[in-house]
């Protein structure tokens, strides 16, 4: 989900740097230079996340945190400190701070934290919708034989303790399958925690999974539970497990064997009761042969395999998917719904969809926003559909964009697609070449539904 982020810091450089990073990631940002204005802006704007400096003239950050939490007990506030002490960390935690970041700020850690925060907010919104009878956005849509078989397998496997390995191309809906398995299990009332192993830098993945003790590394100013602890008695979804480092794989294997974790820098074993569901778009048997994935971990995870088919194998479901996306986007995002003409639907069904269901959803959203008139036409599909927008990277295609925002998206998409092709879709090498954090590049790939073309 995109969201609103408020930055409250008396250092102009911090406000500018955080603002630039957040806007580049697609968030709407506002900032103030003091806590008084920050509290007023919070009341007026109701941001999803607030960054708050600890030391400021006048009202300090801890007092501002207290007042904001009194105004909104559900407020998510991250404290920023140049000289954090254990006392400060304890007080901030007691007042309800989500996390404390030390200056100078680490971009990779901020990106991981943002993902965690907004994943948590999305889950909270989903739980509220379910409680209020509003249904779930994680519905698996489709009535084709392939999708009926998939749903039947989910229902059969869901209410067992078995570990599941979900395979499928990018954008097919592996996360939806994982969430459906959780909902059909005895753990449905407990926490579902997702970790995107590809989006977290290698040096941070173990801290994310297993937690850490204060002082265990630079920036560890307080004890912090990892994802295994957070998912205790619930479900842990390890997405893109094939991108996990060998060192982290070894530790995950030990947890699956012993149901015990040890935080980084800690000595005390902590028992956990977690159902692990993993997913990958890679051929793990090939990864094992290449020495990049542990065979013993593969067999621990692959108790029940579930394959999610690519959209090109069940195009008969496209009308149902389009209707579902239009309904969801209009109800949840406030986007004006439009009818889909018969010719437009036929055109959608004739396309290859290398980005699968995610690409189709992005295309429907793009058409609803950018098209004119109450009905979407075949011409709208040709102009705005999925990967075809970026495949034509010539100047004429870019200058045909009607708004500057549309131009920026098309240009960035075309640039990244070209660079990924240049480096044969090696994401790490591409990220280094374009001087972008790997986790950032993965988010861009997901946002623009970029995929390696099928031969």
Contact (CB, 8 A) for 164 and 157: yes
Q: Which of 81-85, 123-127, 187-191, 408-412 has the highest mean pLDDT?
A: 187-191
Residues listed for the chain: 455
Contact (CB, 8 A) for 42 and 50: yes
Establish whether the linkage from the previous residue to 104 is cis, with ω within 30° of 0: yes
Predicted confidence (pLDDT) per residue in 14-29, tens digit? 999 999 889 888 889 9
Domains and CATH numbers, the chain: 4-106 (3.40.50.2300), 137-309 (3.40.50.300), 313-386 (1.10.8.60), 393-455 (1.10.10.60)
Predicted confidence (pLDDT) per residue in 155-175, tens digit? 999 989 999 999 999 889 999
The neighbour count for residue 117, using CB atoms within 10 Å, is 18
Predicted confidence (pLDDT) per residue in 277-309, tens digit? 999 999 999 999 999 999 999 999 999 999 999
Token readout for 113 is: 């934290």
Q: What is the pLDDT of residue 127?
A: 54
pTM of the predicted protein model: 0.68
pLDDT band at 431 (very low <50, low <70, confident <90, very high): confident
Q: Apex CA 387: angle with CA 331 and CA 114, to 5°? A: 55
Residue 123 confidence (pLDDT) above 50: yes
pLDDT band at 125 (very low <50, low <70, confident <90, very high): low
Cα-based torsion angle of the residue sequence 72, 78, 80, 81 in order, rounded to the nearest 10 degrees: 90
- Of 260, 261, 253, nearest to 294 by C-alpha is 253
Q: What is the pLDDT of residue 124?
A: 65
Residue in the structure block whose two tokens are 């995109």: 2
Return all residues near 447 (Cβ < 8 A) that are at least 6 apart: 26, 362
Q: What is the pLDDT of residue 395?
A: 52
Distance separating alpha carbons of residues 158 and 188, to the nearest angstrom: 10
């Amino acid at each position: 989900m995109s969201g609103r982020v408020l930055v409250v810091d008396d250092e102009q450089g911090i406000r500018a740097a955080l603002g630039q990073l957040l806007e580049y990631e697609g968030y709407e940002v506002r900032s103030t230079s003091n806590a008084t204005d920050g509290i007023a802006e919070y009341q007026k704007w109701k941001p999803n996340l607030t960054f708050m400096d600890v030391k400021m003239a006048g009202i300090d950050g801890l007092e501002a945190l207290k007042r904001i939490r009194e105004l909104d007990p559900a407020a998510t506030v991250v404290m920023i400190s140049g000289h954090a002490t254990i006392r400060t960390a304890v007080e901030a935690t007691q007042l309800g701070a989500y996390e404390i970041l030390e200056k100078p700020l680490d971009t990779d850690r901020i990106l991981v934290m943002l993902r965690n925060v907004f994943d948590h907010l999305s889950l909270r919104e989903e739980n509220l919708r379910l409680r209020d009878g509003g249904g779930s956005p994680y519905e698996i849509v489709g009535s084709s034989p392939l999708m009926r078989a998939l749903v039947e397998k989910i229902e059969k496997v869901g209410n067992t303790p078995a570990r599941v390995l979900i395979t499928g191309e990018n954008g097919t809906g592996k996360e939806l399958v994982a969430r459906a398995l959780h909902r059909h299990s005895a753990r449905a009332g407990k926490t579902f925690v997702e970790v995107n192993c590809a989006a977290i830098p290698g040096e941070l993945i173990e801290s994310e999974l297993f937690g850490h003790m204060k002082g265990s590394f630079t920036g560890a100013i307080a004890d912090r539970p990892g994802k295994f602890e957070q998912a205790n008695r619930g479900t842990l979804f390890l997405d893109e497990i094939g991108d996990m480092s060998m060192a982290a794989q070894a530790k995950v294997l030990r947890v699956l064997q012993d149901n015990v974790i040890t935080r980084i820098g800690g000595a005390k074993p902590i028992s956990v009761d977690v159902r692990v569901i993993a997913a990958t778009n890679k051929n793990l048997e090939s990864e094992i042969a290449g020495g990049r994935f542990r065979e013993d971990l593969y067999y621990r995870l692959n108790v029940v395999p579930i394959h999610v088919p690519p959209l090109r194998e069940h195009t008969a479901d496209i009308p149902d998917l389009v209707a579902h996306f239009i309904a969801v986007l209009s109800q949840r995002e406030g986007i004006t719904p439009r009818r889909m003409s018969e010719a437009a639907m036929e055109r959608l069904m004739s396309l290859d969809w290398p980005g699968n269901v995610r690409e189709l959803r992005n295309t429907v959203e793009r058409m609803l926003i950018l098209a004119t008139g109450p009905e979407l036409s075949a011409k709208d599909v040709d102009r705005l559909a999925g990967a075809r927008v970026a495949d034509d990277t010539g100047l004429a295609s870019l200058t045909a964009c009607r708004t500057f925002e549309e131009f920026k998206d098309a240009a960035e998409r075309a640039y990244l697609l070209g660079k990924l092709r240049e480096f044969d879709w090696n994401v790490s090498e591409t990220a280094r070449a374009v001087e972008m954090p790997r986790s950032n590049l993965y988010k861009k790939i997901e946002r623009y539904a970029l995929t390696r073309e099928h031969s």
